[in-house]
Amino acid sequence: MSKHFLEVADFTSQEIKDVLYHAGELKKLYLNGGNDLCLDGRVMALIFEKPSSRTRISFETAMYQLGGDVIYLKREDIGALGEREPVKDLTRVLNGMVDVVVVRTFAHENLLEMTRHATIPIINALSDSTHPCQAMADIMTINEEVGSLEGLKIAFIGDGNNVATSLGIACVKMGANYVMAGPQGYIDKAIRLDLIEDKAQKHNCSFYITHDPREAAADADVIYTDTWTSMGCESQKEKRIKDFSGYQVNKELVALAKPNCKIMHCLPAYRGFEITDEVIESPNSIVFQQAENRLHVQREIVKYLMTGKM
C-alpha cells in the first residue's frame, strides 16, 4: 500500500479497482443515510495555492462525513510554498499537528518534497503536472455509466494538461484504449507520455496522440475535454482560443463517436469554447455525475490512506 497519493501510478491496478469498488459501497451507504465515522478526532489540513470549488468542497465534505475535522489554509495564510519557509519545515510542523495533508499547488516538486519529510499521508489535489483525484473520479464515473473500462476507446480532446495526463494513466491501467487530440505544441507537450505508453503496453491496450480531433472522436465510447486555458496560462488566452479552433466538442464531432458516447468535462466549463452548451446539456453528458464522484472517490482514498483499510 502506498503511504501517499501523488499520481494514479502510485496505486496498483488492483488497488484502483478496490478503491473504486469500496468508494461505490461508501457512496451507497451515505446516499441511504448511513455513515462511517472511522476518522473521528482526526484532522485534515487543506493547503491551496490555487483557487477551487469542487476540490475544496469534496475534500471537506468527505472528511466531515468520515467524522474528522478540516483546517483550510490558502496562500494568504501561509504564503507560497517554499517562499515563507522551506517546504520541509512546514511539513515537519504539520506532522505534529494534523493527520493528513491535501495539497493543491503549482509545482509538483512541492509535493515530492513534502513526501520526503512527511510521517502522515500527503494527497495531491492538483499540481501543474497531474490531477490524480480527478482521474479517479472520472474512471469511477465511466464504470458506473458505461461499465468496465477494458476495451473502451476514451478520447481526450484539448490541451495536454494535468487532467489529460492523469486520465491517460488511469484509463490504460484499467485496460482502456486512450487517444489524445490537440494542436501541435500543446497535446504533445503533456508530461508522462512515456508512462502512459508503458502502462498501455503492460495492460494490452493502445495509446496514441493525433492532431486530428475527428480521428480521435471516431467510434469513441467516451469523449472528454477540458478548458483550453488552464490556471497559470491566462496571459495566453487569446492565442490559445485561436490555436484550438477546430477542437471544440460539438454535435458534429460527437456524431462521429458511438451513438451512446458519453461526454465528460472536469469543470469549470467555458461553454462556446472547448464544448458547446448543447453537448454539455445533452442526455449523453455525464459531467455532473463525475463532479459528484469527486466526493465519493476522495472519501475512500482518504480512508484508505489513513486507516490502511478499505
Instruction: Kindly name the residue from 133, 171, 205, 266 that is annotated as catalytic.
Output: 266
Q: Which three three-digit cell numbers place residue 115?
A: 513526501
Task: Look up residue 88 and give its amino acid.
Answer: K
Instruction: Kindly name the residue from 294, 296, 298, 299 that is annotated as catalytic.
Output: 294
Give the Cβ contact number of residue 62 at 10 Å.
26
Q: Which helix (H) or strand (E) holds 208?
A: strand 207-210
Residues 6+ apart with CB under 8 A from 67: 35, 36, 37, 38, 39, 40, 41, 42
Strand residues in 6-152 grouped as ranges (E): 43-48, 69-74, 100-104, 122-126
Rounded to whole angstroms, the Cα distance separating 304 from 308 reads 5
**Hey, which residues does 119 pair with through a beta bridge?**
none
Instruction: Kindly name the residue from 134, 248, 290, 298 that is annotated as catalytic.
Output: 134
Active site residue 134: yes
Active site residue 131: yes
Helix/strand number for the chain, H first, E second? 13, 9
Strand residues in 184-285 grouped as ranges (E): 207-210, 222-225, 262-265
Active site residue 294: yes
Instruction: Kindly name the residue from 4, 104, 108, 265 that is annotated as catalytic.
Output: 104
Percent helix / strand / coil, the chain, rounded to 5: 45, 15, 40
Instruction: Kindly name the residue from 159, 205, 226, 299 that is annotated as catalytic.
Output: 226
Active site residue 104: yes
Rounded to whole angstroms, the Cα distance separating 168 from 205 reads 12
Instruction: Kindly name the residue from 131, 192, 265, 296 that is annotated as catalytic.
Output: 131
Q: Which helix (H) or strand (E) holds 209?
A: strand 207-210
State the alpha helices, DSSP H only, in 96-212.
108-117, 132-145, 162-173, 193-202
Active site residue 188: no
**Hey, which residues does 103 pair with through a beta bridge?**
47, 124
**Which residues are identified as catalytic?**
104, 131, 134, 226, 266, 294
